[in-house]
Chain A
Amino acid sequence: MSSAPPDTESGAGAGEQTGYYVYGILPGDVELTEEIRGIGDREVRLVCDGDLAALVSEVELIGPLGTAEDLEAHKEILDSVAAGAPVLPLRFGAVVTSEDAVVSELLEPHRDEFAAALEELEGRTEYMVKGQYDESAVLEEILSEDSEASRLREQIRGQDADATREERMKLGEIISNAIAAKREEDTEQLVSRLADHSVASVVREPTHELEAVHVAFLVDEEEEDDFVEVAEDLEADWEGRVELRLLGPMAPYDFVGTSQEDQA
């Protein structure tokens, strides 16, 4: 392997500390039509082996990985590739010692598994539906549905925060629980409304206390338009209540994984 010369000028000495950063696995019949710069602004290449290819770039083994640029490079590269071919995205941070190892230890031993997974992903991408409750809207909703909450609201109104700490805690707890219940209901509704237009779905853990829904969907190409349309309908239905965002198409991060990881 001697194509792209490393842009290090470290001379010699300490041994060239480079490894191979692996982004994902693709079918062997793909090619990159334009130059892509990856992590550390290194060129992204395909290491091909028969019907499989790994998307890699050299990486200097100096500092830790994980700057914002690193993270974005990883995702953007995979997402752009996913728009044209099936890809098995690797979790961020996979570095292998040599190009040979990419072939002999990653591609070769798992050829059948990877090929089968890629076949299943052919023509499919991931979409993410993420929604956050409008704070005042959801609070109003809860206060009108829960008499205890509205009673506590009256109690703390205009009172000193420390003096009513207990009431505030209680009110906050009621709200927190009510949001969790709404989240569950709304997630169910989202998944069932999109079920006809998706192959599979994975409900993600909430990342924000006002998060309403956070679900990954695997969508067939031919269903994409309908999928987006239904998602937009739901967005309209929830307007003012939930700020809904549709992310994608992206690489199917939620639909690959080790066998012990559960799947919807």
Chain B
Amino acid sequence: MSIAATQPGAGRSTRPEPSGLVDVIDTILDKGLVIDAYVRVSLVGIEVLTIDARIVIASVDTYLRFAEAVNRLDISQEKEGLPELVGDLTQGGARHKTKGALEGVGQKVRGLVDDITDGEEEREGSRRGRRGED
């Protein structure tokens, strides 16, 4: 465990956006304390469905896709305001934040993930306080 050090403080304010499922997958399957480094005897070897959230960064498919995107760029410039194309090109930013990233995750996740990408599932109830403090 290695954490750099400075002084702890107080006062908390901002809360930016919630994580999408892709961010979740990315974070908790790959990060965090690994228990089997510590516990040997009583760890249960339960199977975990793992998902490779990585994509191959440079592949033939990627190259051809980029070339195709350049082509589309031409078309959208020539025929200004073609609605579908414009929508397509700007999709990266829109509401469906997970969409672009999900493409990278690929088929394997789909089955697991399908209907929850829109899930603003209420899982509140986790407010907590510290006992003998404050």
Contacts and interface: CB of A to CB of B under 8 A. Distances in A.
Interface residues on B, range: 35 or more
B70 A255 contact: no
Main secondary structure on A side of the interface with B: mixed
Given A91-B34, A243-B93, A37 B12 contact: no
A206 B57 contact: yes
Contacts of B54: 205, 207
Interface in B29-44: 29-44
Interface in A31-63: 31-37, 59, 61, 63
B130 A30 contact: yes
Interface in A216-232: 216, 218, 220-225, 228
Contacts of A95: 43-44, 46
B134 to A, nearest CB: 10
Contacts of B121: 72
A127 B123 CA distance: 20
A90 B51 CA distance: 17
Contacts of A208: 55, 100-101, 103-104
A231 to B, nearest CB: 8
Nearest to A91: B32
Contact of B17 (A25, A78, A98, A247): A247
Interface string A113-139: 100110011111001101011111001
A73 B126 CA distance: 11
B62 A171 contact: no
Interface residues on A, range: 35 or more
Nearest to B116: A68
Contacts of A132: 92, 100-101
A42 B12 CA distance: 30
Interface in B1-53: 1-19, 21-44, 46-51, 53
Given A32-B128, A123-B10, A257-B1, A22 B35 contact: yes
Contacts of A153: 70, 74
B57 A247 contact: no
A16 to B, nearest CB: 13
Contacts of A256: 1, 3, 32-33
B46 A64 contact: yes
B57 A176 contact: yes
16 contacts: A31-B130, A59-B46, A66-B112, A72-B119, A81-B128, A89-B32, A97-B44, A139-B69, A177-B58, A180-B58, A221-B12, A224-B13, A225-B14, A245-B17, A248-B15, A253-B31
Interface of B: 1-19, 21-44, 46-51, 53-55, 57-58, 60, 62-71, 73-74, 76, 89-90, 92-93, 97, 100-101, 103-105, 112-113, 116, 119, 121, 123, 125-133
Interface of A: 19, 22, 24-25, 27, 29-37, 59, 61, 63-69, 71-81, 83-85, 88-98, 101, 105-106, 109-110, 113, 116-117, 120-124, 127-128, 130, 132-136, 139-140, 143, 153, 156-157, 161, 165, 167-169, 171-173, 175-177, 180, 199-200, 204-210, 216, 218, 220-225, 228, 243, 245-259, 263
**Smallest CB-CB A-B distances: 5 pairs:** A172-B63, A123-B8, A66-B49, A222-B9, A80-B126
